[in-house]
Structure 1
Amino acid sequence: MDHITLKDLEKQIIINKHQKRSRKDSVQTKMDHFVQGDNVQIIQTNEFGIVYKGPDGLGNYIVQVKGEKVSINQKRMKLYIAAKELYPDDYDFDIIFQSKENRKKSTMLSKKHVEDIVIDHQE
């Protein structure tokens, strides 16, 4: 039988730790990561929406579906059309996600200060 030294045992423990980490990393890279503007399909309802924000710590994205912002887990969506195929690089997503009234207010406020104007950001 081979005599195993303490140093050999420590090396093997370090190698095993590294292998566990690399397996976790490979699992995370297999998950879909969506960016703002991606057109996604919600698998359960077969509806389509546009990614607004995300992901949070649990993998939930805020997706705009039929004018409403809904929180949906990444496992329940699949990519339909990527944002880079739909929009130019410098596209202003406020056109999609903000109301026309809020965009007008922010334009007025960027030009000059106007009393009693409040922009409602709904999420």
Structure 2
Amino acid sequence: MQAAALADQLSLFYLDESGFSTIPNVQRAWAPKGKPHAADASSCRQRVNVIGALEFNTGRLWYDLHGQAVKRPHVTELIDRIARREQRMPLTVVVLDNATMHHHFGSDKLDEWLIEHRLILLEK
């Protein structure tokens, strides 16, 4: 698929989600002997979640930021934006991992992506 994408025979996207936070996942750390680990309580404690799709052909990153957990509707919205983009190849392939939110889109949505936009999902 990557060779076909580089030859402009199809569009290839890799989609995934991640989160960024000022609060470490592990609430302990190394500290000098005799001094307890301390964190600045006045620092920003906001988490930002991102859903992104890397367009292999161009290196362009399509993404959305969210203040809450990324759910299936967010995934659907991003794939819809990719499907409706102006410059399309004869076929668009979106590669997804096996996360729960990457399944069960519904046959109507899958048919719309395939028939109207020539977009298919490839689940790893």
Mark yes or no: TM-score above 0.5.
no
* Higher share in strand: 2
What TM-score, normalized by structure 2, do the two folds share? 0.23
Higher relative contact order (CA 8 A, sep 6+): 2
The structure number with the bigger radius of gyration is: 1
* Higher share in helix: 1
